Amino acid sequence: MRYVLAGVAAAALAAGGAYAEPGKGNGNGKGERAATAKQDRSPSRERGTQRAERKSDRPAASRKSVESRSVEQGQPRSSERRVERGNDRGVGDRGKAQRGSGDRRIVDRVDYGRDRELLSLDNSHGLIEGCPPGLAKKNNGCMPPGQAKKYSERGPFGYSYRPSLFGLGSYGDGRYYYNDGYLLRLGSGGGISGYIPLLGGALAIGNPWPNSYAYSSVPDYYVDYYDLGGRGGYRYADNVIYRVDAEDAAIMSVAALLTGDDIRVGQPMPRGYDVYNVPYAYRDRYYDTPDAYYRYSDGYVYRVDPETQLVAAVIDLLV
Amino acid sequence: MMHMVKNGLAAIALASLPLVGACTKVEDDTPETATRDDGTITLAAALAAEGDMAKLRDALTQSELAGLLDGPASYTVLAPTDGAFDALGDDGKAIFTEEQRPMLIALLRDHLVPGHLTPETIAKAIVDKGGPVTMTTLGEGEVTFSQDDKAITVTMPGGAKAAITGTSIAANNGVVIPLDAVLLPAKDS
């Protein structure tokens, strides 16, 4: 059964299923291990789960009736309610449909700071010490003498394997090998001193979550936004959110890839957001003006002050 | 047991709707390459309807990332054409093996940008800034967009370069922007 979600996704890609349903996790979570920050969120969790289930019955295209929330105090700036044209705002009925609901509700998101701290826990990953599963630990690390040739130091196109090549920016430099879905770090003694499971390798669909690979919780908002289901239905590590089987923690699909950019209110927007990139359903609502511009990252829309280049507000994209 | 999902095929009747707004100059100059706006379909459907993207579809299926294209989050796919994949030669075939799936994913992540970018908004940003603009990716780093004589080009930190070619499709959860080359990351950082 764990292959069902991936199978549906692959079939949708092949068949062009415009309305393939996003995957849903299982709400009966088990406890989490290391690097997990607990939150008191039972009531909202229940609401969130229900909301995610309802939302999954709809295609992404239909999720337009949005009441966004902002961490900013007070009412929206008048510029956000102008019926000005900007960017490449769409054609057709999208604008008409939302024009009537211009007075959007603003709710203070006082917990954005907490969400950001929670997400930041993912930045502290270190190598898993020892040998990956399948390699016996020997005197010389976990690389048995004479077996070094089994490990690849360079991959296709001549790339030397390194964590950053795989989007793993929090690991240090050094000499790495690749073997059987893992990056292996060569220690000073000549053996393998640690390892990292790789997305698509050890962290491929159908594989059990590696016991020693720490993961974090995500904010309630992400549970809703990415349709993650219950607490035990996902794992978050190294900027990837996986859906897992709540029973045996087998990986079912990749729910989201994140940039991991640490964006905070009052701080400058990080480099790499020069182009207007607000998601489709929100472009009629959040478009650049001389007073504000908007950028999307990891499920949030950020309002930026063009003058100061500082992030002025954070807007989530759920009702 | 995998059953093919065939619902929604009818929704792939893409309308060539010209965009309006602040970038009319760019769109007027290149109407044949204006982004097709179709908010009734997902990225998966948009890619499935593309005639020159079979290798990319294979890559996304092999990488097990295909589910992202039907998900709630928004991504822009910098989408190399079949010819772009063919130009990679034997190494381009090697990354399609199960053993090298992490490498294929690494490559694909460099072609995913958060959110909804269109060539029109990229062109506008280049004009507004008066030069190249950068966007972060879901991979190792960022990409830089520049305006050449006729095309917008994309470069990676290691120097890999591609041009936006053909018609982009704006779906409800992202955009497909065709590229004439695969962006390979720098050999060593």
pLDDT score of A84:
37
Is 0.90 topped by the overall pTM?
no
Better pLDDT: A8 or B49: B49
Chain B residues with CB under 8 Å of A87 CB are 21-23, 121, 124
A134 touching B (Cβ < 8 Å): no
Output the DSSP codes for chain A: -TTHHHHHHHHHHHHT-TTPPPP---S------TT------HHHHHHHHHHHHHHHTS-GGGTT----EESS-SSPPHHHH-----TT---TTHHHHHHTT-S----B-TTHHHHHHHHHGGGG--PEESPPTTS---SSTTS-TT-GGGSBSB-GGGPBP-GGGGT-TTS--S-EEEETTEEEEE-TTSSEEEEEE-BTTTB-TTSBPPTTS--B---HHHHHHTT--SGGGEEEETTEEEEE-TTT-BEEEEEEE-------TTSBPPSSB-S----GGGTTTS---SS-EEEEETTEEEEE-TTT-BEEEEEE---
Q: Do A15 and B91 touch (CB under 8 A)?
A: no
How many CB pairs below 8 Å do chains A and B form together?
293
Rounded to a whole number of angstroms, the distance from the CA of A103 to the nearest CA of chain B is 22
pLDDT reading at B127 higher than 90: yes
Per cent of chain A over pLDDT 90 is 38
pLDDT reading at A286 higher than 50: yes
pLDDT score of B174:
97
A6 touching B (Cβ < 8 Å): yes
Q: Which of A133-142, B72-81, B98-107 has the lowest mean pLDDT?
A: A133-142
- A190-222 pLDDT, tens digit per residue, is 778 889 999 999 999 999 999 899 999 999 999
Better pLDDT: A172 or A139: A172
Chain A residues with CB under 8 Å of B59 CB are none
Chain B residues with CB under 8 Å of A4 CB are 1-2
Better pLDDT: A77 or B62: B62
Q: Do B187 and A20 touch (CB under 8 A)?
A: no
Chain A residues with CB under 8 Å of B135 CB are 272-275, 277
Mean of the per-residue pLDDT values of chain B:
85
pLDDT score of A208:
96
CA distances from B175 to A212, B43, B91 (A): 37, 7, 27
- Count of positions (residues) in chain A: 319
Rounded to a whole number of angstroms, the distance from the CA of A298 to the nearest CA of chain B is 7
DSSP lists the bridge partners of residue A179 as A182
Chain B residues with CB under 8 Å of A6 CB are 64, 66-67
pLDDT score of A140:
57
Output the DSSP codes for A215-253: -B---HHHHHHTT--SGGGEEEETTEEEEE-TTT-BEEE
- B9-38 pLDDT, tens digit per residue, is 333 333 333 333 333 333 444 445 689 999
Average pLDDT over residues A273-297: 96
pLDDT reading at B71 higher than 60: yes
Q: Do A6 and B47 touch (CB under 8 A)?
A: no
pLDDT score of B140:
81
Q: Which of A95-104, A257-266, B164-173 has the lowest mean pLDDT?
A: A95-104
Rounded to a whole number of angstroms, the distance from the CA of A191 to the nearest CA of chain B is 22
pLDDT score of A120:
86
Q: Do A19 and B11 touch (CB under 8 A)?
A: yes
pLDDT reading at B103 higher than 70: yes
A51 touching B (Cβ < 8 Å): no
Rounded to a whole number of angstroms, the distance from the CA of A76 to the nearest CA of chain B is 23
At what angle are helices A4-15 and B54-63 packed, to 10 degrees? 180
Per cent of chain B over pLDDT 70 is 81
Position B118 confidence tier, pLDDT thresholds 50, 70, 90: very high
Record the tokens describing residue A14, joined without a space. 């092949």
Q: Which of residues 126-155 of B touch A (CB under 8 A)?
A: 129, 133-140, 142, 145
Q: Do A85 and B72 touch (CB under 8 A)?
A: no
Q: Which of A61, A25, A65 is nearest to A45 (CA)?
A: A25
Number of H helices, E strands in chain B: 7, 9
Q: Do B48 and A166 touch (CB under 8 A)?
A: no
Q: Do B39 and A13 touch (CB under 8 A)?
A: no
Average pLDDT over residues A309-313: 94
Average pLDDT over residues A83-108: 40
The H-or-E segment that residue A293 falls in is strand A293-297
pLDDT reading at B161 higher than 50: yes
pLDDT reading at A106 higher than 80: no
Question: Residue A280: which of B17, B103, B170 has the nearest Cβ?
Answer: B170
pLDDT reading at A74 higher than 70: no
Better pLDDT: A313 or A154: A313
Question: Residue A13: which of B19, B57, B117 has the nearest Cβ?
Answer: B57
Compare all CA atoms of chain A with the CA of B20 and give the residue at the minimum distance: A88
Compute how many other C-beta atoms are within 10 angstroms of the C-beta atom of residue A108: 12
Mean of the per-residue pLDDT values of chain A:
71
Q: Which of residues 183-242 of A touch B (CB under 8 A)?
A: 198-201, 204-205, 225-227, 239
Average pLDDT over residues A215-240: 92
pLDDT reading at B41 higher than 60: yes
- A9-58 pLDDT, tens digit per residue, is 455 455 543 333 333 333 333 333 333 333 333 333 333 333 333 333 33
pLDDT reading at A292 higher than 60: yes
pLDDT score of A318:
77
pLDDT score of B6:
37
Record the tokens describing residue A90, joined without a space. 């769409």
pLDDT score of A4:
46
